Amino acid sequence: MTGTNPQTARSGRGRVLTVAKIARLAGVSAPTVSRVINGQTGVALETRRRVEAILREHGYRRPGGSTSVAIVELVFHALESLWALEIIRGVERVAREHDLAVVLTEMQGRLTPGRAWTEQVLTRRPTGVIAVFSELTVAQQSQLATRSIPLVVLDPTGEPLHQTPSVGATNWNGGLAATRHLLDLGHRRIAMLGGPPEWPCCRARLDGYRAAMDAAGVPVDPDLVRISTLYVEGGLADGRELLALPDPPTAIFTANDLQALGVYEAARLAGVGIPDELSVVGFDDLSFTRWSGPPMTTIRQPLEQMGATATRMIIDLAAGQSLDQHRVELATELVVRESTAPPSRG
């Protein structure tokens, strides 16, 4: 009577992990371990810490749990543009190849998921969590860690977290390439429409712009560097102000394609022709850029592959493998279309 219950938690090697064994390892009783696993109160902080460490170390999982329903959680701050859809596609593709179900959540613009989300995720016991353009609280991170649910962040918004594995694009290189392209065309009054610089991806694009300008020996006019929102409206508003300057820019590099579309509209309203009187470079290469009037020069971000990469990292981590690198940056690429040309004046 071996009593091997198929619902029983197993570690990677097939060694059966039970609450009793964890208890023995931690030097406590089974009920105490049970309480820790279920997040109940009435356990001394010190004891809880010790038990959690052992749980994590041995990769304990509840019996049954995710055995039949293997899930990867995908959390977005917002589902607003094709940017999100490309990432979803990449995640879904790799997940499907590994028989993982993708559970999608939107946080309605907030950058940190709420308590309700955390509770539900802990109930669902996913194989892993991918957080896009967001940040988990330290408490949320440790709750996942306790249950050995790996977390990967795509385009992290917080302080570059060295512990949390993350995926992004070579944003700095992208900013550099976009600006150098404009410089090579002969532009000198090049404006940068940035996103909120507290977000590393936006900051890196801005820094790439500055680096290219410095390298070319072109001083950056502070009036031409503006922080805007990452939406069409932001590009429209700030684009109008830039074009209304006494000495307006001959080129504008924006932090994303939506902003660039806003600049298009600002130029249209101001009667400024693209690319004859104004060059515009976007960032992302969302599909509509190919069909905008005129087709947009932009920095391609491999969003689908970023989603796919994040998912593969989750799968590797869940299998107990260590990652080659905790921070993966996929290459950006300059895509030259018809919104950039040599300056007509200056």
Binding footprint of a copy of itself on the chain (CB under 8 A): 6-7, 38, 62-69, 71, 79-82, 84-85, 88-89, 92-93, 96, 99, 101-106, 116, 120, 123-124, 232, 261-262, 264-265, 268, 287-288, 290-293
| Closer Cβ to DNA, 21 or 89, answer by number | 21
Q: How far is the CB of 20 from DNA (least distance, A)?
A: 5
Exposure string over 279-306, b if 16+ CB within 10 A, otherwise e: bbbbbbbbeebeebebebbbbbbbbbbb
Instruction: Find which of DNA, a copy of itself, none residue 29 binds, CB within 5 to 8 Å per kind.
Output: DNA
String of contacts with DNA for each residue 21-50, x by CB under 7 A: ------xxxxxxxxx-xx-xxxxxxxxx--
| Closer Cβ to a copy of itself, 47 or 105, answer by number | 105
In this structure, are residues 115 and 93 in contact, taking their beta carbons and an 8 Å threshold?
no
Q: Note whether 5 binds DNA by CB under 7 A.
A: yes
**CA 340 to CA 292: how far, in whole Å?**
13
For the four alpha carbons of 328, 118, 109 and 200, in that order, the dihedral sign comes to negative
Query: Which residues lie below 8 Å from residue 335, measured CB to CB, with a gap of 6+?
Result: 285, 297, 298, 299, 300
**CA 128 to CA 342: how far, in whole Å?**
48
| Closer Cβ to DNA, 11 or 287, answer by number | 11
Q: How far is the CB of 42 from DNA (least distance, A)?
A: 4
| Closer Cβ to DNA, 20 or 269, answer by number | 20
Q: Is 108 left (phi over 0), alpha (psi -120 to 50) or beta?
A: left
Instruction: Find which of a copy of itself, DNA, none residue 35 binds, CB within 5 to 8 Å per kind.
Output: DNA
**CA 275 to CA 278: how far, in whole Å?**
5
In this structure, are residues 233 and 259 in contact, taking their beta carbons and an 8 Å threshold?
no
What phi and psi values does residue 287 have, to the nearest 5 degrees?
-60, -30
| Closer Cβ to a copy of itself, 183 or 318, answer by number | 318
**CA 140 to CA 124: how far, in whole Å?**
15
Which residues ranging from 61 to 90 are in contact with DNA (CB under 7 A)? 62-63
| Closer Cβ to DNA, 11 or 321, answer by number | 11
Query: Which residues lie below 8 Å from residue 33, measured CB to CB, with a gap of 6+?
Result: 19, 22, 23, 26, 51, 55
Q: How far is the CB of 90 from a copy of itself (least distance, A)?
A: 10
Q: Note whether 7 binds DNA by CB under 7 A.
A: yes
Q: Note whether 19 binds DNA by CB under 7 A.
A: yes
Q: Note whether 137 binds DNA by CB under 7 A.
A: no
Interface with DNA (CB under 7 A)? 1-9, 16, 18-20, 27-35, 37-38, 40-48, 62-63
